[in-house]
Structure 1
Amino acid sequence: MSQSSNKARILLALQALQNDSNLSLRRAAEIYEVGRMQLWRRHNGIQSRRDSGPNLRRLSDLEEQTVVQFIPNLDSQGFPSRQRFVEEMANSLLADRDASPVGKRWAHNFVKRQPELKTRIFRRYDYQRAKCEDPTIIRGWFRLVQNTIAKYSIQSGDIWNFDETGFMMGLIQSGMVVTGSERQGRPKSVQPGNREWITAIPAINAEGQSIPPFIISSGQYHLANWYRESNLPADWVIATSQNG
């Protein structure tokens, strides 16, 4: 039985149901030899997957491509789109040609059939930190650095960057461990009682050369075991301060 012949009989059955209010859906399916469930779906306005292909999509190919290209552009600027916004974009395009809005599940189905798109769980990002990654702001800083280098003929080996970072001794990070297969729940690892802070100041230049880091520990005096029992390189500099 061909697909076109089946569609024709469904249309005849639908027309018969419309013309005869006493005709039951079951009887119409028997008369026109079509599936009762298929006829019921069409009678209630539900399209088959085959019939809901490109020719019956709410947006044209160009409109869909516009939405697909716009979503990654927003994401790159730190404004990932929720499905509600995707739906609003589609409705805006449809409103321009006086078409009815999309359904509640349209955005979900649209994302699923677009290989360029994918739903993910987003994470919050601090506004001040985001500004530090704004290309417009960063570009001005690099332009100033570039002009300064050119003005004073500064060599790459004379351009240094240093960073100050602090970390707590005895703080265990989460990681992969091996346990017995019968164990229930996540294993726990007891942290040492040492909660002292250490500050490290490393430095590296634009040619990739580095100088030994400067390590600051909390305390007033240097301890002998820092030098005798540790694996720190001999050229690392160790100092003390009240807070580390």
Structure 2
Amino acid sequence: MDPIEAAIDAIESREAGASFSYRAVARRFGVDRTTLSRRHQGITRSNAAAHQQQQLLSPQQEHELMIYIERCVKQGLPPTREMIQNFAGSIAKVEVSESWVSRFLHRHADKLTTKWSAGIDRDRHKADSKERYELYFHMLFSKMLEYGIEARDIWNADKKGFAIGVTNRSKRIFTKVV
């Protein structure tokens, strides 16, 4: 326990109406008298308590954000900084800055890391055409009907994992392997 907290507990645990001296209690616990009296009277808070009040997300909300990131990584879609920014903004109900995402990643550096993901191959990008997609999806739909496959059973994955709307190189956030 923090010496200031121990001193405050000693003050609080005395009998009702018993007199005490901040100076004597501060000397006994080796803390500053002024800090002790201000903290006991509720004038100031500990640095940790003050910092927690200033954070955009509560510890529980940050924990939920970590669970979201872990789930995305396990599903093969490591989130981008923008995805984390959007999700945190929806939790906090306010717009989240890019620098907040940087601070969040720094706070959780023991569990999260960033890596660059490769973009789509140039030959694959050149092969894009509306006609080929229409032909592919027509064949896919006919096979789905033939074999009784439902749309919810289809996943978009290749050797690089999910790639929703990603055609160029981007930085992704991953959980660290422990």
TM-score, normalised relative to structure 1:
0.29
Q: Which has the higher contact order (CA 8 A, sep 6+)?
A: 2
Flag the structure with higher helix content.
Answer: 2
